[in-house]
Structure 1
Amino acid sequence: MRFLILGGTAWLGSTIATAAMHHGHKVTCLARGESGNAPAGIRFVRGDRDHAGAYAEVAAEDWDVVVDVSRQPGQVASAVAALGDRAAAYTFVSSGNVYADTAVPGQDESAERVGAQSGDVMESMETYGEAKVACEDRLLAGFGADRSLIVRSGLIGGPGDVSDRSGYWPLRFREPAGADGSVLVPDVPGLLVQVIDVRDLAEWIVDAAEDRAAGVFNATGETVSLAEHLAVARSVAGHTGPVVGADARWLVDHDVGPWSGPRSLPLWLPLPDYAGFNARDSGAARAAGLVTRPLAETLADTLRWERLRVPQGPRRAGLSDADEVALLAARAAG
């Protein structure tokens, strides 16, 4: 098969391109190249999708499938217009952020979406879900449901995760900031977590293209409690020190944020409003062939990658060592 990856130089796109190549397909990546070049052995076409003529070279060829990970509705619209007559199918990697209800766990693809963004450009991550909805709509309007595969991904983790959400916990348990090995964790009973390994997501996207799959699918990791996720992270790190729990109120009172960003504890989300945000039903994708590896394997591999990584600038999620030490002291003081 002939794969055209729109992107292919950053984390997810590169992993998809590599998976397709390993399946024996002919792969081309179209990107600006700001995140680097395409993986070795893959054809790279330089093009800025925000500029006219970006698709000139690839629009002169025929493709079995186009794979797109964009968050910009204008980019999806221009790709659909340029490639609609040259591509047999189009796979769009969307997000669980498209759903309006974040409170109810276990919702499937029929759940209501947020409203679509009206413009071509997503100006802020505050409208990420709305932008992805607009991308989905523009794909379906151009390619139709029978030629479109929409993959609504859950939280992606694994080696290469520069968001720090999947790497923070195994690394923190491996390298505690506390002198006695203590690690501060959120104590949020009932909170569910799903992390899908980037390699499993990429492999299924390639498999689905081979199977000519169409439709809309949630693609998530197995659902576990946050406590279970932290226990796995601790196990793969070999941590034996104290685990210091703090409830949501205490964390908020001490200026610790949820999910990601500076001075945060990754994967923690406020209940009950976000009980379903990271707990969607991916049964349809699993019935269509999605297979996910054990969480322990993902976190162990991510820990190995983290220990070799040289971070570029501040971490995107988690606590600094100094913040962790100060918070542990405050927790001990009551």
Structure 2
Amino acid sequence: MTDVLILGGTGWLSGRIARRWVDEGAAVTCLGRGSRPAPEGAVLVRGDREDADVYADLSRRDWDHVVDVSSHAVRVERAVDALGDRAGRWTYVSSVSVYSDDETVGADESTPRHPAASPADAYDYGAQKAAAEDAVMRLGERGFIVRPGLIVGDGDPSDRFGYWAAAFARASSEPVLLPPLEGSSAQVIDVDDLAAYIVTATRSGVVNGVGDEHPLADVLGAVRLAAGHTGSVFVADEGWLRAHDVEYWAGPRSLPLWLPTEMSGFMTRSNRAFHASGGRLRPLTDTIERVVADERSRGVDRERHAGLTRAEERALLSDR
């Protein structure tokens, strides 16, 4: 039986990874603070990764596979120092945010990264992920780094992809505000497809764990169809959105999936290595249907971490 240690295992992605490992018949241990349960069939070891002795018991045994998703480089470095010699394989879930080039279309894993963060630096997500990668790379052939882009699916806590399911569903027959579509792409990966890849991949090195590239217009059109929206749409241009203080990508008062022109390559990364190493992607329509159902279940008018409120959207549409 494969002994797997997941540093986390109770969050959205790490929990899906833990569940997939359990389904594959592995003995799964999750290290977490205990604020959320581990998936059924996994063992939860309570511990805070800020504590100096958190790995004391875990480092007394060998692990066939260790998985880490942390976005804090110091935590990853401490884990590698404490457990690296006891791990047969180590997978680190990084991010395409490590890349310093967001303009080149179709860029692969050789694209230059941001400089790795040092302890004295202010927190920067991409730089933290780069420094964490460096720690895992010290393990040589035992280390594997997966760089996802936008991860989507039911239960997504970021609210980015799900925003569009909610926006179309809540509007029903009323208008919906869309970002610029011409020349824009969307590239997402289903959380369960990513979890399956992390569990089954056997290679080392670095792979972009990203989905296939689709025209943004097609993706939003598919979400609109699944949500049953029958109203009109207003496609705004970038200048108009900026003039009306609408943010891109994420956060309050934003239009998720919209990226400015200087980031035209961000959602067009090459996934050739992903496919060549066994990565499989379900039809995007299947993911969309699941996300629409999930948004309806959680409430399309709930408070969100990303997107416009319906009141904000109506105000913007009245000023077009």
TM-score (norm 1): 0.92
Provide the residue aligned with 1:162 in structure 2: 157
Provide the residue aligned with 1:298 in structure 2: 287
> Deviation at 1:300?
1.1
Counterpart selection for 1:220 from 201, 205, 210: 210
State whether structure 2 residue 25 is matched by structure 1 residue 24.
yes
Q: Which sits farther off after the overlay, 168-177 or 8-17?
A: 168-177
On the 8 A contact 1:257/1:264 being kept in 2, the answer is: yes
Where do 1:154-303 residues align within 5 Å? Answer: 154-176=149-171, 180-208=173-201, 211=202, 213-271=203-261, 273-303=262-292
* Secondary structure of the structure 1 residue equivalent to 2:107: coil
Provide the residue aligned with 1:148 in structure 2: 143
> Deviation at 1:299?
1.4
Provide closer, same or farther for how the CA distance between residues 310 and 45 of structure 1 changes in structure 2, counting only shifts above 3 A. Answer: farther
The whole-number CA distance in structure 2 between the counterparts of 1:24 and 1:297 is 26
Where do 1:43-192 residues align within 5 Å? Answer: 43-119=43-119, 124=123, 127-141=124-138, 143-144=139-140, 146-176=141-171, 180-192=173-185
Q: CA RMSD in A?
A: 1.6
Provide closer, same or farther for how the CA distance between residues 310 and 28 of structure 1 changes in structure 2, counting only shifts above 3 A. Answer: farther
The whole-number CA distance in structure 1 between the counterparts of 2:195 and 2:237 is 36
On the 8 A contact 2:106/2:265 being kept in 1, the answer is: yes
Tell me, which stretches of 5 or more residues in structure 1 are unaligned? Answer: none
Same amino acid, percent of matched pairs: 48
> Deviation at 1:188?
3.3
Q: Which amino acid in the other structure matches residue 140 of structure 1?
A: M
The whole-number CA distance in structure 2 between the counterparts of 1:25 and 1:311 is 37
The whole-number CA distance in structure 2 between the counterparts of 1:27 and 1:123 is 35
Paired residues in the alignment total: 319
On the 8 A contact 2:99/2:113 being kept in 1, the answer is: yes
State whether structure 2 residue 1 is matched by structure 1 residue 4.
no
On the 8 A contact 1:109/1:217 being kept in 2, the answer is: yes
Q: Which runs of 4 or more aligned residues in structure 1 lie more than 6 Å from their structure 2 counterparts after TM superposition?
A: none
State whether structure 2 residue 320 is matched by structure 1 residue 327.
no
On the 8 A contact 2:246/2:253 being kept in 1, the answer is: yes
The whole-number CA distance in structure 1 between the counterparts of 2:48 and 2:54 is 6
> Deviation at 1:302?
1.0
TM-score (norm 2): 0.96
The whole-number CA distance in structure 2 between the counterparts of 1:123 and 1:25 is 39
On the 8 A contact 1:166/1:299 being kept in 2, the answer is: no
Q: Which amino acid in the other structure matches residue 134 of structure 2?
A: D
